[in-house]
Amino acid sequence: MVIAYVLARRESDRGRGPIDWIALIEGGIFEFLHRVVLTDIKPPVFHKFMEDPEQRRKLNAWVAEQFRPDLESLPGDLSGRFERYLLSETSSREQRILRAAHYLATKWEFDFVYEWSRKMYRIEETRKEIYSQVEDLADIPSVQEMLTAWDAPDDRKGVLGFVSLVGQLGFQKRWAQTPRIPQTSVLGHLLFVAILSYFVALETDACPKRAYNDFFGGLFHDLPEVLTRDIISPVKNSVEGLDDLIRRYERQAMEEKIFPLLPDSWAREIGYFTEDEFRNKVWPGEAEFPTVVDGTDIDASYNSPEWNPIDGRIIEACDKLSAYIEASLSIRLGISSSALVEGREKIYQRFNRCTISGFHMGTLFDYFR
């Protein structure tokens, strides 16, 4: 989804027509859910099924049926949109961007494996297949630009350098000092928070710009951790002023190491997502800096595109819900510690009665109690 963001922003900057960002976000979520159900099918078998129109239709209809009871409870006919997305025989521009992002991510991951696996049986066949899939989408200028930068030195990689940095969050484990199962990465956590934030945004009748900000705000909220690693709350709170010092360092590191990889307008938006990430903010187009609107929800007063609103409180609640679920699952599976038990209890005490823009977040915490 980070690569999809980069490709779509570049396409938009090139003047190749507006991007339907809600279609891109929901398409990414739909394809993620699709793969969750079919994760046990090996990729070659999966792609073989997808090549047969009749088998593809039957398989996709079955996947839509599995999710219908859950998605029907969400507002805006999300279940219907999910089913139509899976069963559509046409490919939208946003779907092509998502497909390109998927294969570019696969190529990025495979290049690590390839360096250590050159003597593995049929590794060259796998390599050719992946590269062929990427090349088939090279007619998208932003894809070709990324491929051109692939072997360039670091100082000329540009947005590919940004993508590579973000990808490293896939190697950083959550709760690194605490034994826990299943293990989760920071990158997986970001996607989970982004999807939760988007669903809650739907529940609060968010305008499209606010839903966009809540999704990508969730997706990028821990981006500075690629430079600092995951510094857990007990460490941040152990020394007075340490949390503020960490935030100042993160801000400086972002400005020195990440923002130079991005066009100015992108850096401005990523800064909006990552600085004061858990506070409600607005940033109308004529304003030089965003405005924090603490003490109020992003309700009817700011719920319109011209305010460019973001629900930091929703993103924070979804971030803590993610941690709460991680701790709860591990305890339920028999791997526990005082850090997990105490952390879980502190989170619950803080959020079990939390209501944001009329949506009772506490219900979600109660579900995993």
CB distance 132 to 124 below 8 Å: no
pLDDT of residue 68: 94
CB distance 298 to 312 below 8 Å: no
How many domains are there within the chain?
A: 2
Regions in the chain scoring below 70 on pLDDT: 229-242
Residue 166 lies in a domain: no
357, 208: one domain: yes
Residue 222 lies in a domain: yes
94, 229: one domain: no
- Report the alpha-carbon distance of residue 79 to residue 30 in Å, rounded: 10
- Report the alpha-carbon distance of residue 34 to residue 295 in Å, rounded: 39
CB distance 170 to 2 below 8 Å: no
Concatenating the DSSP letter of every residue in 64-107 gives HHHHHHHHTTSSSSHHHHHHHHHH--S--HHHHHHHHHHHHHHH
Of 105, 134, 151, the position where a domain reaches its end is: 151
State the first-to-last Cα distance of the chain, in angstroms, to the nearest integer.
Answer: 30
pLDDT of residue 240: 62
16, 134: one domain: yes
- Report the alpha-carbon distance of residue 247 to residue 368 in Å, rounded: 31
* CATH number of 321's domain: 1.10.3210.10
Concatenating the DSSP letter of every residue in 324-348 gives HHHHHHHHHTT---HHHHHHHHHHH
Structural domain that includes position 238: 186-367
- Report the alpha-carbon distance of residue 357 to residue 312 in Å, rounded: 12
206, 77: one domain: no
21, 147: one domain: yes
Of 94, 127, 151, the position where a domain reaches its end is: 151
Q: Mind spelling out the 3-state secondary structure of 104-172?
A: HHHHHHHHHHHHCCCCCCCHHHHHHHHHHHHHCCCCCHHHHHHHHCCCCCHHHCCHHHHHHHHHHHHHC
Residue 235 lies in a domain: yes
CB distance 267 to 288 below 8 Å: no
- Report the alpha-carbon distance of residue 191 to residue 216 in Å, rounded: 9
The helix (run of H) or strand (run of E) holding residue 355 is: strand 355-356
213, 131: one domain: no
| Helix 159-167, helix 2-13: angle, nearest 10 | 170
pLDDT of residue 263: 93
Of 101, 127, 151, the position where a domain reaches its end is: 151
- Report the alpha-carbon distance of residue 162 to residue 6 in Å, rounded: 9
113, 249: one domain: no
272, 132: one domain: no
252, 111: one domain: no
24, 143: one domain: yes
127, 192: one domain: no
215, 359: one domain: yes
